[in-house]
């Protein structure tokens, strides 16, 4: 290593700018929640826990944006299908 480094042209801030459509923020996540996402990524063979968290948040938003009638229809279809499969198997 050098004894002295020249930082006269250095700039503060992130080394790489955030990609378009992304915003860099500071957020506090509970340790257990963060560990769960990291474990999921590790168990899946790698990837980005941040991407997985984005996907989970998008799924939550989509479920909240779905009109109640659509939600009820979807749930009823799933339940009726499950019942029909049980009746057919029994």
Structure tokens at 49: 């826990």
pLDDT of residue 24: 84
pLDDT tens, 13-47? Answer: 766 778 899 888 899 999 999 999 999 999 999 99
Structure tokens at 34: 């963060």
pLDDT of residue 57: 94
pLDDT of residue 47: 92
- Measure CA 63 to chain center: 14
Q: Give me the percent of the chain exceeding a pLDDT of 70.
A: 97
């Amino acid at each position: 290593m050098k004894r002295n480094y020249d930082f006269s042209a250095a700039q503060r801030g992130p080394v790489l700018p955030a990609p378009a459509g992304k915003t860099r923020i500071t957020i506090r996540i509970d340790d257990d929640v963060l560990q769960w996402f990291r474990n999921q990524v590790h168990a899946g063979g790698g990837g980005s826990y941040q991407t997985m968290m984005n996907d989970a948040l998008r799924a939550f938003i989509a479920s909240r944006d779905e009109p109640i009638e659509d939600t009820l229809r979807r749930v009823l279809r799933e339940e009726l299908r499950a019942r029909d499969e049980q009746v057919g198997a029994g």
